[in-house]
Structure 1
Amino acid sequence: MKSLKKQRRIQIIVAATLALVLASVLIGYGFRDGINLYRAPTQVAEQMPAPDEVFRLGGLVEEGSLMRGAGETISFTVTDGAHSVPVRFTGVLPDLFEEGQGMIGTGRMEGDTFVASEILAKHDENYMPKEVIDSLKATGRYEDPNS
């Protein structure tokens, strides 16, 4: 009787371990395309990401860099004060997108240009994404609007 209980416990432990491993593999597989790391222009300049890596790029839209191309293609430059990265986006920009304001784009590098598939802009005149504030503070370009 004792060996039957012991055998049953071992079976339960093995089944639970297999279920945990399977769940971990499924979660990892589900997140493989869903995790996008944030990079500032300085980080992109220091270490160029792989061409197939999807990441988020954030900073301020440089004054005078916004150019509208043919159709819905827009080009501009994003800076953190120390480095700048050219950006190309095809689509409709958010209403609050403008030069000198914070933005975050999701996309990948094609050569030296960040090709964005999505652009997010501030949602009121005082808001700026935390990641953008941190990268601007690191370069000494951030000015607190509340001070």
Structure 2
Amino acid sequence: MNPDLMIRLANETDAEELSRLNQEFNGGEKRPPERIIERIRINHSEIIAVAEIRGKIVGFGCAQSFYSFCYEFPYGEITELYVEEAARRKGIGIAIISFLEVNLRERGVKSMKVLTGRRNNAAIKTYERCDYVKDDEQLLKKRFAD
């Protein structure tokens, strides 16, 4: 592992870099940093981790913990994981996943899930290296009209 790599919780001062990385990851319009700051302040079920190398943020990951009356313990979901191109294949994604898992376990999470594209082989291999296994669930989506 890179000794210059640090994984930590995101804070408000990371908003500009999170905006840049999110646009690289998701495309579309750049999220305004003030909206990112707002989400950091109010969304306490989300964990946002950043990966830094020598002070430069090169990746991020997000996870959520969910409670339901149906289950004894909350479950966790990794909702986003992105490492910029130049920093890939250096174990950063695995380090972010591990960091998120530790934080979720501290919240009482006993099981995790992640959704990724069927053809996103690099991501699938990264998750499999972290002991995630494929299952046969099917994702269905619906978008509400504005």
TM-score by length of structure 2 reads: 0.27
TM-score by length of structure 1 reads: 0.27
Q: Normalized per residue, which structure has more strand?
A: 1
Q: Normalized per residue, which structure has more helix?
A: 2
